[in-house]
Amino acid sequence: MHCDRLLIGVGNPLRGDDGIGAAIVAHAEQTHAGAWATLACHQLLPEYAALLSHYTRVVIADAAYPTPDMPIGTVRCVPVQPAHGSASPHHLTPATLLGWTQVLYSTPPRLWLVTIAGADFGYSDTLSPVVQAVLPAAVAQCAACLAG
């Protein structure tokens, strides 16, 4: 049976809160086992356009630097629209990846970006206490988007 929903966790688990994407995937695999396909990766890659074309709903979970309107520990979910134009494969945005999926495969999924404002992006293989505390809420936000 093919699952039509995909959760992608982006980030480096050896850079503190940047590892929240992988942590979300690991947590979701325990709490929502088999509900969706999952992928943990360090960054988005151009070849993921082919992968996205096989799904109807996709969530990309990633860390973000805190800002005045997004303080540490904030979980934010925004729908992503396809962006067309050139992009560097060294920094591929979810919108550009979705645009490539649309152009190459004509079947872009609905896509959401869930970001979590981190506190510590230094060398560490653990999340900061604030980000660890919001992990269940971040997984719940991803689940809500994937559920439709």
Which domains are seen in the chain, by residue range? Answer: 5-147 (3.40.50.1450)
> One digit per residue, pLDDT tens: the chain, 148 residues?
468 999 999 999 999 999 999 999 999 999 988 899 999 999 999 999 999 999 999 999 999 999 999 999 999 999 999 998 666 656 789 999 999 999 999 989 999 999 999 999 999 999 999 999 999 999 999 999 999 7
96 within 8 A of 87, measured Cβ to Cβ: yes
Task: Decide the pairing of beta strands 5-10 and 57-64.
Answer: parallel
pTM of the model: 0.95
